[in-house]
Structures are given as structure tokens and as C-alpha cells.
Structure 1
């Protein structure tokens, strides 16, 4: 009675085994063909090819190491700045001499953290997006379209988005007295450098020519941001910590987070491949990088705009907003899954990340509305 059933399952497993064997043979075929070709070549050709393969293996080993080691990554990085101990707003006279020209002013926490964020990505780490092997992809396929080796690049681009937005706001409003002062040239250079293409290497093939690598340009922006803070500390520059400037800054950040939330929602609603969604990880880590960067920037803004926050009694709301940003940074899954929201096997990390972003953005808008009263 059981023989037909046993035979049926034997045929099924046999077919599965043959299918797996065909897939493995198809994958190994080019390598086996290359090894046979290599074995039939002369000594000189073998030496040249062997050296090339050795360099290629070493380059990929280095590339994999750079993508997997995240130097300086710490969700609680803002604690090291001790911003809650600052007694003066950014640009405020701290020299203590009455009825005298200021000789020392409070530097900006926003500028300091913005500079340190990009320093972490181009000096403490390799900038992944402009590495040649990242640009080549996996057999011509963009790494962002695969589930491997793109998480760090996406995180860096998310952090970079926060610094780009911050430098724009510094130039347009925060570092100038509206109507009575011009644009700060040092910050203007920093903003221009932060808009530079994220994937540039020494050589470009479209169009063909030589270019400055992305990380070199971003390093210049780090220098310029630090230079502005030095000038501010000497009272040679201004930081206009007015309530309307803060309100405008929060508006821009809320718009940024709204765009990211829409990106996550689109992917979550239209693609439900679970662990097999190869684009879910780069969206997740881009959003994570944004939250990581804005957590530091907004913590610094609390210190830089201290008088405004105290005057409007915003401290409780501001602290709650920062708690929401920090809570979102607790989500660090080893494998990103984009499952159905009502699924019971595969989780939906994109929807979870989107929920945290909307919650943080809701608190941000609440702070903004209080400022607008």
C-alpha cells in the first residue's frame, strides 16, 4: 500500500536533486572551462593570468572588508559632544566682558556634528559609492540590485543627505542675518562641495575624462565647515538663532523625512518578496542613515537655539522628538525583509522603519507648530 507513495516522493526528490545539480553545473561551467584553458597555456601566460587573478582576489577581499567594517558607527554618538552642558547659544558672546567687543563666541553644534558626520564617512571609512569595484557591480549588475555589499553605501548616502540639507540651510538662513548680511563664503564652498556627485572616481567613462574623487571633495567640505566654526568661535562670523530660522530648518527636515517615508511606503506596498526583495536593504539603510544624521543635527540644534527653545517652553517636546529618533536607531536587523504587513512568516522591516520615521516626523511637526504660533 505504501510503495506507490514512497515511489512518488522518491521521484520528487530525484527531480529536485537533478535540478539542483543542473544549477550547480551551470554556475561552475565557466570556471571549469577557464581552468581547462589555463592548464593548456604556456608558462608566461600562466604567470600573467595568475598575477591578474591574485590582484583581483586581493582587490575584492579589500572591497568586501571595506563594505563590512563600519568604523565609528555608534547610535549614541551625540553623547560624546556633551551638548546639554552648553550654556550659550551658537554665536553668542562667551567672553564675559561687559560693554566690550566680543572676543570669543560659542561655536555651533550643528556645524560641528555635520563636519564630523562626513568625516566619519570619508576619513574613518572608505566612501563605498565611488569605489571602482562597487561601480562595476556583480557581473555588471548594480550592487544596489543585489542583497550583498550595498548596506554601508546606502547608509553613507543617507547620512550624506542630512549634511547636504544642513549646509544648504546654513548658507541660506542660519549663518546670515537676513537682510543685513551676505552669504558666508566659507559655507558657500562647503555647500557646493557637498552637492558633488556621490559616485565619482579618478576616471569617468560617461563622459570620458579625469575627475576628482568624491571623498576628496567631501574632505574639503569638512575643512570648510570646521573653518567656519573656528571663525564663529572668534566672533568673525554669525549664527542667526532666530525662531523663524529654526522653524524653516525644521520644515526642510520634515520634508526630507516625508520623502523618505514615501519611498519606504512605495516599496513596502508594491513589493512583498520578504527576504528575497533585493532592493529593500538599500532603502532601509538609506532611511537609517538619515535618521542617524538628523538625530545628531537636531540634538545640536537644541543647544544652538537654546534661548528660543527655553522661551517657547519646547524642551519637553524636543526631548520627546529626540527619543523617537533614537528609538528608530534600535532597529538593526541582520537581513532586511520586506514581507506583507499581515504576513506571519517574513517580517516587514520597511513598514516598521516607515512607522518610526512618521512618528519622529510627527513630533518634529508638533515642535514646528509651537514655533509658528
Structure 2
């Protein structure tokens, strides 16, 4: 008895050619956009990710190598989904494109922080300009000029520019000073990056946030911030290796590890469904506020480390006291 409605429906579909054709189209669209998009979606949050040889020559900066390597991975291993047109099977995805947009933003802001230290470097200038290109541009557009540079192509150029800069660092043609002032500046800039994400989350939760006159969904906002935090986490790990002697000398290893774990908390927060319930709600959590709190804690720890680096070393202070 229960099978009769199914049989009747199948019989109706097969008797009518237009209905049968429409059913085939619907099945195709569901498989193409649904299954195809699902199989193409990858949120690669591997915290143990390491740069390949192409991104890290001996003597180069691990942090810079992380920046080029993670962007190259998204472009050439997973594919840049943020600029896919409407007829691609990934057109309905939002989490992965948002993740990639945030990741690119994290790399861009790190390159900008390096540029603030070496404003005349042509590779950093080229990388910053290429990364500043909108993340959702396919090579054919609706506005003039109709044929344009795709976002993925622009970011590949950025990868090559970052690699060129790091190769020059490794070869001694560019000096990336590894002293306390440099590390403090880079940490402060990273804290600024996290603060901007906090503000973006706060505006979204309050209902004020917009992006290109379109309000982002909760999941898009969440994954944008998460992608940026992931890029920052990898770069932070690279800075830990680049400045390891200084961090050990200043006895900041334990505080650095605490800071890194706080940022790992932001990246590890990965709910099945992103919700933005009212504060204090018993039934519906607010994952955006939870994410914002973890960001704020990390930002404060980063700024405290930067301030500690700007202070004179303890041995120097002790010597001065004894002389007095």
C-alpha cells in the first residue's frame, strides 16, 4: 500500500514527456549544484601546515613562506572558489568562498605590515597590489571592460611576488631585521588585524555590518573571520621560528605559547551550523560572539607581548639599577 503513491508518481512522470524532461532537469540541477558543490567544498584548517621548498629557501623567513604557501595551496590545490561564476557547481557555496576571502585578507594584512617596514621593496608592493584585488572577480564580467583579470590570476601573481621577496631575504639582497622592534611592529599589526575582525563581528551582531551593500549571512561572516584567523595563526607560527633566539632570550616562550593557543581556539571553533542567538539564550548559541571573545583575548595577549618586546631586556634593567 505504501509503495502505491511512489509507483503512481513514477507512472505519471514517465507518461508525460514534458514532465519527464522537467524531472530530469531537476535531478541534474540537484546533483550538479548540490552534490557537485558539496564535493568541491574544502575548509582546510590544518594547523600543522608547512611551506614547501618553493616557498622557503634556506635563510628565508618562515612567516613569509607561510603566507605564500597557504595562499598557493588554496589557489592550486583546492581551487579558488570565491570567483566562480553562477553556472559552476560551486556557485551555491558560501562557507568555503568566505574562508578563502578571509585567508586572503590575513595574507594581505601581513604583507602590508612588512611593507610598512620596507616601503621601497618592489616585490612587497607588487604583492600588496595583487592581493588588494577583489576576491570574487571571474575573467568575464558584466561591466566594461568585459574581459578582465580573474581574482585567482591576480593572487597567483601575489604568490610569485611574495616568493621573490623571500628569495631575496634568503640570498641576503633584502634584509629583514630580526630584532625586538621589528617583531613588536609585526605583532602590533597582527593585533590590529584581529581588532578589525572583532569590530566587523560586532557590527554584524548589532545588525549594522554590510559588504558591498549586501548583508553577509552569519556563516559567511563566521568563516571569513575564521579564515583570516587561520592565516594569522600560520604566520604567527612562522614568526615564532624566525625570531626564536630573541623570544628565548627575552624568556617569552611560555607567553607566546599561550597566545598561540588562544588563536588556535578561534580556528578550532567549527560548529555544524553557525547560529547567532540572543546573548544569554539557553537554546540557541551565538557563535559569532564566542568567536569575537576568543579574538579579543588573543588580541590583548599579542599587544602585551609587543609591549614586552619594546621594554629594555631584564638584564639591562638590572645593570642600570646596580649602577645607580
Relative to the length of structure 1, the TM-score reads: 0.68
Cα offsets for 1:148-205 (capped at 9, x unmatched): x2111111111111100111122331xx4xxxxx722223222221111211111121
Q: Is residue 2:164 matched to residue 1:227?
A: yes
Q: 1:263 aligns with which of 173, 185, 200?
A: 200
Consecutive unaligned residues of structure 1, counting only runs of 5 or more, are 1-35, 41-45, 83-90, 92-103, 144-148, 177-181, 272-276
Q: Is residue 2:145 matched to residue 1:201?
A: no
* Partner in structure 2 of residue 243 of structure 1: 180
Pairing of 1:275-294 with structure 2 (within 5 A): 279-294=217-232
* Partner in structure 2 of residue 163 of structure 1: 107
Q: 2:281 aligns with which of 324, 328, 343?
A: 343
3-state SS of 2:72 partner = helix
Conserved in 2, the CA contact under 8 Å of 1:67 and 1:153?
A: no
Q: Is residue 2:79 matched to residue 1:126?
A: yes
* Partner in structure 2 of residue 254 of structure 1: 191
Cα offsets for 1:68-127 (capped at 9, x unmatched): 234xx134224x469xxxxxxxx9xxxxxxxxxxxx961101111001111121111121
Quote the offset at 1:350 in angstroms. Answer: 0.9
Moved more, 306-315 or 334-343: 306-315
Cα offsets for 1:338-373 (capped at 9, x unmatched): 011211111111111111111111111110111232
Quote the offset at 1:322 in angstroms. Answer: 0.5
C-alpha distance in structure 2 between counterparts of 1:358 and 1:67, whole Å: 33
* Partner in structure 1 of residue 150 of structure 2: 213
Quote the offset at 1:230 in angstroms. Answer: 2.5
In structure 2, do the counterparts of structure 1 residues 134 and 279 end up closer, same or farther at CA, with 3 Å as the change threshold?
Answer: farther
Consecutive unaligned residues of structure 2, counting only runs of 5 or more, are 1-15, 209-214, 312-324
Q: Is residue 2:243 matched to residue 1:299?
A: no
C-alpha distance in structure 2 between counterparts of 1:318 and 1:159, whole Å: 22
Quote the offset at 1:261 in angstroms. Answer: 1.0
* Partner in structure 2 of residue 69 of structure 1: 42
Structure 1 ranges of 4+ moved more than 6 A = 49-58, 134-138
In structure 2, do the counterparts of structure 1 residues 58 and 330 end up closer, same or farther at CA, with 3 Å as the change threshold?
Answer: closer
* Partner in structure 2 of residue 10 of structure 1: none
3-state SS of 1:133 partner = coil
C-alpha distance in structure 2 between counterparts of 1:368 and 1:135, whole Å: 45
Q: How many corresponding residue pairs?
A: 289
Conserved in 1, the CA contact under 8 Å of 2:218 and 2:276?
A: yes
Report the structure number with the largest CA radius of gyration: 1
C-alpha distance in structure 2 between counterparts of 1:254 and 1:134, whole Å: 39
Conserved in 2, the CA contact under 8 Å of 1:298 and 1:322?
A: yes
In structure 2, do the counterparts of structure 1 residues 195 and 55 end up closer, same or farther at CA, with 3 Å as the change threshold?
Answer: farther
Conserved in 2, the CA contact under 8 Å of 1:67 and 1:150?
A: no
